[in-house]
Structure 1
């Protein structure tokens, strides 16, 4: 096999999970898991990947099923807790406090940063408003921030999610970054 063909085959296998995810996402958006939805999903996925060609995301090639399961279960619990907290803040008399915090991530991978940002935004009560890729900083708008202690607690909370994601799908290098002394969260 020629080096060019091998490179193309490797790119295909690296992009296949994302391509399949686009098809599944298309089917979920339409709420139909039919052959027609799958065929149109493939057509849309081909169009999206050809028109909006992005660089190949580097996957670690490592998946820890135990930590993946722990992540999913804790995330579902956090969704419920966040929804109850936000509902309570909406129903409680008085002004709800909020703030913008910056969180310095410990890992350098774009994919991990994206996962942390999406996870943080999906949990009710917090929303990513900006991501500084070069400095690995996520800026979040968070409900319930009254003082510096609340802001620090929320920063630690985001870093715990980063750790859970790295333990589930991160590379060995990213795991090592977690074990190094923690970086002080950006203020």
Structure 2
């Protein structure tokens, strides 16, 4: 018998490629439809659903309130030590009761958070902490006269009260500096400096405060993204920060 095949061979046609292409196109179209209806639903909710007054008056304040509810719920679950539906629901009810029945003064939420700038700020804080700790430790054990301390007045161009509070906390965390008083209307800080025995030390302190000022503005309240809170008037008039001070911070000019 001959091993030759009877008749010509027919090519094998695979349908795997076209079927896979159709499935991929169907998946892409379905994702577009889902995204379209999701965005349409958000637009409808924004136009038809009213935010409860206790939750806030704008989206940024609502985000802060929701963060507060989530944080209080998280603390409640940590106190019980067990993650369960009962503890989570109980924490939610307690958190809503706390912010509704025991409200704190409203804090204006302005500006926008830039995570990369915030990470750079935290890294610089850690660096300043170690450097300043070493300097203060050396001053404590070195022979000679004790360092000369003084209270120095500086003005900052930070507009938001919340961001100003964070900047003050930054300065207080760094050894060798302590904010003693804040002039809210003039945006003046009275800071006790550990060592100002020469002009070089004073300039180094001013340079450090200037960096903190620029870094916090860059991380939280850039002029192009400033969103004034509805609880007060125009930002420059309310915060008493002149346009010249903001330009000085933006371009890094001038001394205090």
Comparing 4-13 and 74-83, the one that deviates more: 4-13
The runs of 5 or more residues in structure 2 that have no matched partner are 1-47, 227-242
SS in 1 for 2:52: helix
The answer for the alignment partner of 1:140 in structure 2 is 191
The answer for the alignment partner of 1:72 in structure 2 is 122
RMSD between superposed Cα atoms in Å: 3.6
Distance 1:63 1:106 in 2: 18
Structure 1 position 122, deviation (Å): 0.3
Tell whether 2:81 aligns with 1:34: no
The runs of 5 or more residues in structure 1 that have no matched partner are 28-32
**Contact 2:214–2:250 under 8 Å retained in 1:** no
Q: 2:250 aligned to 176, 179, 186, which one?
A: 179
Structure 1 position 12, deviation (Å): 3.4
Distance 1:41 1:183 in 2: 51
Distance 1:4 1:45 in 2: 15
TM norm structure 2: 0.56
The answer for the alignment partner of 1:111 in structure 2 is 162
Distance 2:81 2:184 in 1: 35
Tell whether 2:216 aligns with 1:168: no
Distance 1:49 1:96 in 2: 51
SS in 2 for 1:5: coil
Larger Rg: 2
Structure 1 position 182, deviation (Å): 5.0
The answer for the alignment partner of 2:179 in structure 1 is 128
TM norm structure 1: 0.74
